Structure 1
Amino acid sequence: MSMSWLFSALGFITALLTVGIVIYLFTSRRYQSSNTVANFYDEWTEDGILEFYWGEHIHLGHYGSPPQQKDFLVAKSDFVHEMVRWGGLDKLPPCTTVLDVGCGIGGSSRILARDYGFAVTGITISAQQVKRAIELTPEGVSAQFQVDDAMALSFPDGSFDVVWSIEAGPHMPDKAVFAKELMRVLKPGGVLVVADWNQRDDREIPLNFWEKPVMRQLLDQWSHPAFASIEGFSELLVGTKLVKGEAITADWTQETLPSWFDSIWQGIIRPSGLVRFGASGFIKSLREVPTLLLMRLAFGTGLCRFGMFRAVRVSSD
C-alpha cells in the first residue's frame, strides 16, 4: 500500500512538473516591439513583487573579487559604487549631468544624485517605472525621470557629461543603433559607462547543442531580442566614429554571479511575500525560477558574461 502511494505521489509530481514546463514554454514573453518591453515592466512595477524582493535596484549585485557572502540588497547598492569607481566618475565634480538609460525605478539614479551630487535624468520605456521612480525620490535629490526610448533618444546631440546604463542592452533590437544613441547624446569629452548581460562571442566559439535552447529561453522569457557579446558591442561603440581611441571593457561575471541564487533565496527567506501578494503572486514569482536558474547556468558556464564598457566621446565629430 505504501509503495502504491509512493508511485502515485511520484506520478502526480511528474505530471505537475510536466504541466509546469509546458506552461512555462508556451507562455513566454518574446520580444515583439518596444511595447512588449514596456508592458513587461509596467506589469512588474504595478504589482510591486519585483520591488519587494529586489529592492530599488533591478539589476545584479557586486559581491567583490573574489566574491564574498553579502546581503542581496547591499550588493546591489555596492554595484553602483563599484561601477562609479571603475568608470572614473568619482573624480567628476558635483552637478555633472548624467543620463541613466534604462533607469528602472530609479535606484541607481538616486545614488548618483545623492552620494555624488550629480544632476541625473533617468529614462525608461515603462510609464509605471517612471511613476514609481518619482514617488521614491525625496525632495532635494537631483534626479528626474521620464519615458523615453533608448533606440531614439529625445535629447539633442551632446546633452550630457555622462551616459550610464545597467542591463538595458539585451532589450535593444539593434545594438548598433543603441551604441550610436548612447554616444550621440554625450558631450565632447563625455564618458559612457555601461554594464550589461552579454553572450559569449559565437564568432569564436559557436553555441553548441544545449546552449542554443538555453539562450533561446533567456531571450524569450524576459522579452530580449538578442544579447551582444562583449567584443561585438565594443566594436559597435568604436564603429560609431564617436569614441576617442578604444572602448575599455571588463568582465564582471564572477563578481555578480551570486546574484542569481540570491534572487531565488529572497523568496524563501521572505515568506511575508506570500501574504502580501497571495497565491497569484506566489505563482507569478515561482514562474521566474527556471529562468533565474538558466541565467545562473549560462553565466556559470561561460555561455553568458557580464560585460563592462567605458568610452570617451571624441572632442569633435
Structure 2
Amino acid sequence: MDGYPPPLAAGCYAQAARANALSKEQGFGDRLQFQVGDALAQPFENGSFDLVWSMESGEHMPDKKKFVSELARVCAPGGTVIVVTWCHRVLGAGEAGLREDEKALLDRINEAYYLPDWCSVADYQRLFEAQGLTDIQTRDWSEEVSPFWGAVIATALTSEGLAGLAKAGWTTIKGALVMPLMAEGFRRGLIKFNLISGRKPQ
C-alpha cells in the first residue's frame, strides 16, 4: 500500500475483514476468502488459481511488467489471466509517446488519484506475450463505460453528494474535482477502458 494515504490503506484491511465476516455469515466458510496483499509480490504459491482476474487495478501499478509477471505466476497451467484496466490510447505509427497536452492531462489525473504512469492496451499485450501467455485477446469497452463519469459528476453535485464529499474530506474532494478531466480524456480518445485476456499454456 506504499504511496497511498494511511486512511486508504487502513480502509482496505477493514473492507477485507468485513467481506470475510459477511462470507462466513452466508455459509461460504473457507471456500471464499478476501485478502489484502502486494500485487507485485503476491502471497500465493505458483499456479494457485485457474482464473486470475484483475479489475481496475493495473492503472495503480508502478511496475506493469512485474504486475503481469505476478498474475501469470499465480495462474495455473491451462488457466486464464484477465486484466480490465484504464489505459491511454495506442500510439500511432511513428509516435514515440503521447503529445504534451495529453501528458499534462494525465499528470493532473495521476496527482489526484495517486496513479503512476499509464500504458496502452498494446503495451499490456506485449507484456502478456513476454510471459508466454497465449490466445491473447483485447477489447475496448470505452464507449460503454464513458457515460459513467457524467453520471458520477451529476450525483456528486446533488445536495446529498456534496454533503458526502464534505464529510469525506479533502482527499475525496480532490478526486471529485478531477472527474471532469476523466470525462475529457474519454471525449478526446486519450483514455481507454480495456480488457486483456490470455491463457497460460499447459
Q: Normalising TM by the smaller chain, what interval?
A: 0.7 to 0.9
Choose the corresponding residue for 1:257, options 146, 158, 161: 146
Q: Does 1:298 align with 2:189?
A: no
Deviation digits for residues 66-92 of structure 1, max 9, x if unmatched?
A: xxxxxxxxxxxxxxxxxxxxxxxxxxx
Where does residue 133 of structure 1 map in the other structure?
19
| Contact preservation (8 Å) 2:155, 2:161 | no
Q: CA deviation at 1:295?
A: 0.8
Aligned length: 197
Distance 2:51 2:40 in 1: 18
CA gap 1:196/1:185 in 2 versus in 1, 3 angstroms: same
1:222-301 superposed matches below 5 A: 222-241=113-132, 243-244=133-134, 246-269=135-158, 271=160, 274=163, 277=164, 279-281=166-168, 285-301=172-188
Deviation digits for residues 274-311 of structure 1, max 9, x if unmatched?
A: 2xx58443765443233111111112211111110111
* Structure 1, unaligned runs of 5 or more: 1-33, 46-125
Distance 2:199 2:185 in 1: 31
1:101-250 superposed matches below 5 A: 126-137=12-23, 138-141=25-28, 142-202=31-91, 204=93, 205=95, 206-241=97-132, 243-244=133-134, 246-250=135-139
CA gap 1:279/1:236 in 2 versus in 1, 3 angstroms: closer
| Contact preservation (8 Å) 1:41, 1:129 | no
Q: CA deviation at 1:267?
A: 2.2
| Contact preservation (8 Å) 1:199, 1:305 | yes
Where does residue 81 of structure 1 map in the other structure?
none
Aligned AA for 2:154? W
| Contact preservation (8 Å) 1:42, 1:129 | no
| Contact preservation (8 Å) 1:130, 1:145 | yes
* Structure 2, unaligned runs of 5 or more: none
Distance 2:165 2:5 in 1: 25
Where does residue 197 of structure 2 map in the other structure?
310
**Dislocated runs of 4+, deviation >6 Å:** none
CA gap 1:227/1:39 in 2 versus in 1, 3 angstroms: farther
What TM-score, normalized by structure 1, do the two folds share? 0.56
Counting aligned pairs with the same residue, the percent is 29
| Contact preservation (8 Å) 2:165, 2:173 | no
* Largest Rg, 1 or 2: 1
* Aligned partner of residue 247 in structure 1, secondary structure: strand
